Amino acid sequence: MICLMKERFWKSSVFQIRQTTSYNVNTDGLVTFDIMSDPSLSGINGGFIPTVGAGAYIKGESYFLALSIPNFLTTDRLEQGDGVARLGQSRTHIYLAGGYDFAISENFIFKPSTMLQYVQDAPLSLNFTAAFRIKDRIELGGLYRLDEGFGGLFLFNAAEWVDLGYAYESAYDSPVQAASQGTHEVFIKLKL
């Protein structure tokens, strides 16, 4: 991370992510079990997939604003859909997020935030989160993903520098809901 400015009331950072992935595919040994093989899969022996992304983060005492593009590059990958194995392509994701902390009292903070996600050829995704921080020890909140799902979160301040948390999210009114029990996440939030 490259820090551009540190001041008393706000911080600004710009960062770049660089990563590579390599894979090896043996399409001759591919057993498809009722999946028709796609001729475009022949001759694929593996590859090197670079990942280059960037982002910006601005944080004040009671607000934050972030923009992130984890990967500028679109890369080919193998995928399966509709009973057919074929070559697919990863799309660029763009995330814009922001939030503000409202001090209701000395021991109670309301923390609304939102995140907008754009992916080429996919519907725009908009998330709303509302959390309440109580006595700087416990945080409880809920989230709503516009026309897609809902969830909740819990954070416990185990030490001054670490929070332990759990989050759950479930889809609604979607074919995914019938096939999924939702997502469960356990996480650690470090304050460096």
Q: For the residues of 12-79, what is the DSSP string, one character each?
A: EEEEEEEEEEEEE--GGG---SS-EEPGGGTT--EEEEEEEEEEEEEEESSEEEEEEES-----EEEE
Q: What is the pTM of this model?
A: 0.69
Please give the pLDDT value at position 74. Answer: 73
Averaged pLDDT for residues 168-172: 87
Delimit the domains of the chain by residue range.
1-100, 108-192
Helix (H, G, I), strand (E, B) or coil at 148: coil
Averaged pLDDT for residues 39-67: 77
Q: Is the pLDDT of residue 31 over 90?
A: no
- The answer for residues whose C-beta is within 8 angstroms of residue 97's C-beta and 6 or more apart is 64, 65, 66, 67, 68, 113, 114, 115, 116
Please give the pLDDT value at position 1. Answer: 35
Helix (H, G, I), strand (E, B) or coil at 123: coil
Averaged pLDDT for residues 177-184: 74
Averaged pLDDT for residues 42-47: 56
Dist. CA 184–CA 41, nearest whole Å:
35
Q: Is the pLDDT of residue 134 over 60?
A: yes
